[in-house]
Amino acid sequence: MTEELVVTILTEVFYTTFLIILPILGVSLIVGIFISIFQAATSIQEMTLTFVPKILITAVTIILLLPWMMDKMISLTTRLINMFSTVIR
């Protein structure tokens, strides 16, 4: 295994991880901003008001995006296994 191959593998793994986690974090961020604006407008400072909706929306996002995320992870795993079998030869 050369250094270039290791860098290529790590780049691909980090890119795929970033691609999978980005929609989840984005939705959580948007919900957090809306809740913060609502709290500032109404002067309600309840901690559960921020935590519960973000957790619920994040869980729903993960459930809805699970087929897409699994497709990306299976595709990456398949490419890595094929790459390793080529390198071992």
Is 19 part of any domain?
yes
What does pLDDT average to over the chain?
A: 90
Is 63 part of any domain?
yes
Is 89 part of any domain?
no
> In sequence order, which residues have a C-beta less than 8 Å from that of residue 72 and are 6 or more positions away?
16, 19, 20
Domain that holds residue 43: 8-82
Is 3 part of any domain?
no
Is 51 part of any domain?
yes
> In sequence order, which residues have a C-beta less than 8 Å from that of residue 58 and are 6 or more positions away?
24, 27, 28
Encode pLDDT of 15-39 as tens digits. Answer: 999 999 999 999 999 999 999 899 8
Is 75 part of any domain?
yes
* Number of structural domains found in the chain: 1
Encode pLDDT of 33-55 as tens digits. Answer: 999 899 889 888 887 888 898 99
Is 56 part of any domain?
yes
